[in-house]
Structure 1
Amino acid sequence: MKSIILSLITILMFSCQNTAQNKMSEKQNEVTNAKPVEVPMEEGLSKAYFASGCFWCVEAVYESVKGVKEVYNGYAGGHTKNPTYEASNTGRTGHAEAVEVIYDANEVSFETLVDVYFASQNPTQVNGQGPDNGSQYRSILFYQNDEQKQIIDTKKAALAKQLNAEIAAEVYPFQKFWMGEDYHQDYEKLHPENPYIQNVSIPRLNKFKRKMPSVLK
């Protein structure tokens, strides 16, 4: 009798887990199949959104690019409202650590920002960059209209052909950027002695700078 009860409990637990996972999957499919949201310009500046591993690293990369006026760290690509750093780290929100890049399109094009994106990462690493692993660190390029999607798809296909490998970055219609906590903003600038910054962020930034010196400030 005891073994039967244990078996029933186990079956129930698996059933609940599968139901929860299916619901999460359905919600995430709604995100990836949604109509993209186009963000209006503010004071003559445009906005673009990217996820590529730890946002501290990505923020530093884009802030080094001519025409980029500001970069904010946050979360995007998921189905959960008001995500936090702690919730994102569970991998259950659907969100990835992402950046909002505010730029002058007269100085730097969206196309160049996509080039920066691929030049500053390991494009074949799935669900992470460097030592950071998990769906919250996956690579995503967000498009706001058909023109941006075409640019992303073309460059992704060309890179796959060049490397003769599958490119891990996903392509999502942009929905919403959730601003990250204050202590995550300008993290590399404010914490240059942090071991992660010293051993991961700065080497990644310097590697990018060697690849694309012509776009640097």
Structure 2
Amino acid sequence: MTGEKATFGGGCFWCIEAAFEELDGVTDVTSGYAGGHTEDPSYREVCSGNTGHAEVVQLEYDPETITYEELLEVFFTVHDPTQLNRQGPDVGTQYRSIVLYHDDEQRDLAESYVEALDEEGGYDDEVVTEIESLGTFYRAEEKHQNYFAKNPTDAYCSMHAQPKVEKVREKFREKVKA
């Protein structure tokens, strides 16, 4: 059986990738770039902020095990969707909060989720997450794939990815891989 796909950006892809890798039903997580205008950009080009791309992760998941709605909940838990063009120390449009939907159902679910977040008033500021059709996804260079798993003692990962992983393990305990 082929899984469904979902694509999210919420700051550095190393951190978002590490969080989603924890989840049962998520069969593959690929770091990459989307939402821009440059064909097949490099990490250096995306970091310049001139390509229009965001650092994103594309997930393949089994909807029988984990739903798109649950993935949205995890996504909005592990990053701050009220920060415009930044997450923590990472600043620039490449670090924006973005949901890149693959079909109309994902778009509707993401829009409803953001509306509910704003209505609940769970944040002091308005949610600024962009919701856009995917377009083209470009896989990031190999050194960026599974970065946290390969570099768990990296200072950046210790400070930014590890807390996201711990948050997933605590808040979504029943959805974490055994």
**Runs ≥4 residues deviating over 6 A:** none
Q: Distance in 1 between matches of 2:139 and 2:27?
A: 17
- Show the counterpart of 1:159: 117
TM-score, structure 2 length as denominator?
Answer: 0.94
- Show the counterpart of 1:122: 80
Deviation at 1:150, TM superposition (A): 0.9
Deviation at 1:45, TM superposition (A): 1.3
| Per-residue deviation, residues 179-215 of structure 1 (Å, max 9, x unmatched) | 0000001101111111111111101221233232222
Is residue 98 of structure 2 the alignment partner of residue 132 of structure 1? Answer: no
Q: 2:5 aligns with which of 28, 47, 56?
A: 47
- Show the counterpart of 2:129: 169
Structure 2 counterpart of 1:189, one-letter code: A
Which runs of 5 or more structure 1 residues have no equivalent in the other structure?
1-42
Deviation at 1:71, TM superposition (A): 0.4
Is residue 154 of structure 2 the alignment partner of residue 194 of structure 1? Answer: yes
| Per-residue deviation, residues 104-160 of structure 1 (Å, max 9, x unmatched) | 111111111111110111121111211111101001001122211110011101111
Q: Distance in 2 between matches of 1:146 and 1:70?
A: 22
- Show the counterpart of 1:86: 44
Which runs of 5 or more structure 2 residues have no equivalent in the other structure?
none
Q: Distance in 1 between matches of 2:161 and 2:64?
A: 28
Q: Identity over aligned residues, as a percent? A: 39
Is residue 23 of structure 2 the alignment partner of residue 65 of structure 1? Answer: yes
SS at match of 2:153: coil
Structure 2 counterpart of 1:132, one-letter code: D
| Per-residue deviation, residues 76-125 of structure 1 (Å, max 9, x unmatched) | 01111011100001111000001110111111111111111101111211
Is residue 54 of structure 2 the alignment partner of residue 96 of structure 1? Answer: yes
- Show the counterpart of 1:9: none
Is residue 170 of structure 2 the alignment partner of residue 204 of structure 1? Answer: no
Structure 2 counterpart of 1:175, one-letter code: G
Q: Distance in 1 between matches of 2:97 and 2:173?
A: 23
Equivalenced residue count is: 175
- Show the counterpart of 1:145: 103
Q: Decide which moves more: 164-173 or 70-79.
A: 164-173
**Does the 8 Å CA contact 1:119/1:212 hold for their aligned counterparts?**
no
SS at match of 2:82: coil
Q: Distance in 1 between matches of 2:107 and 2:12?
A: 23
SS at match of 1:71: strand
Determine which structure has greater relative contact order: mean sequence separation of CA pairs < 8 Å that are 6+ residues apart, divided by chain length.
2
